């Protein structure tokens, strides 16, 4: 008899890189952050960002976070924008 559950296919849970720009206010200090987070969707990005904040600001009593931008990172670039700007 064959097992009822087959091997899990990893391609179903594809992850991509997300760029997250946010500001953290701790007391009177403001800290601007730009992070790259590997996640499957925006919900996963939120969870990973929360883990990052807990790790970074674990000693702070209160932390106010303002997320400015969450965007998936595209690796497609148009080389024509950089034509002639940089030379080896």
Question: Which pLDDT band holds residue 19 (cuts at 50, 70, 90)?
Answer: very high
Residue for token digits 């932390």? 63
- Reading the block at residue 4, the tokens are 């009822």
- Of the two residues 78 and 34, the one the predictor is more confident about is 34
The pTM of the full predicted model, rounded to 2 decimals, is: 0.69
Class of domain 14-73: alpha beta
CB 38 within 8 A of CB 78: no
DSSP structural state of residue 30: E
Mean pLDDT of 15-24: 95
pLDDT band at 13 (very low <50, low <70, confident <90, very high): low
Per residue in 28-75, pLDDT (tens digit) is 999 999 999 999 999 999 999 999 999 999 999 899 999 999 999 987
- Greater confidence, 85 or 31? 31
Nearest-angstrom CA–CA distance, 56 and 16: 23
């Amino acid at each position: 008899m064959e097992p009822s559950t087959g091997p899990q296919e990893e391609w179903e849970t594809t992850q991509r890189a997300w760029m997250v720009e946010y500001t953290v206010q701790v007391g009177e200090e403001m800290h601007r952050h730009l992070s790259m987070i590997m996640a499957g969707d925006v919900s996963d990005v939120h969870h990973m960002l929360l883990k990052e904040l807990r790790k970074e600001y674990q000693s702070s009593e209160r932390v106010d976070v303002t997320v400015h931008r969450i965007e998936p990172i595209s690796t497609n670039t148009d080389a024509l924008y950089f034509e002639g700007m940089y030379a080896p």
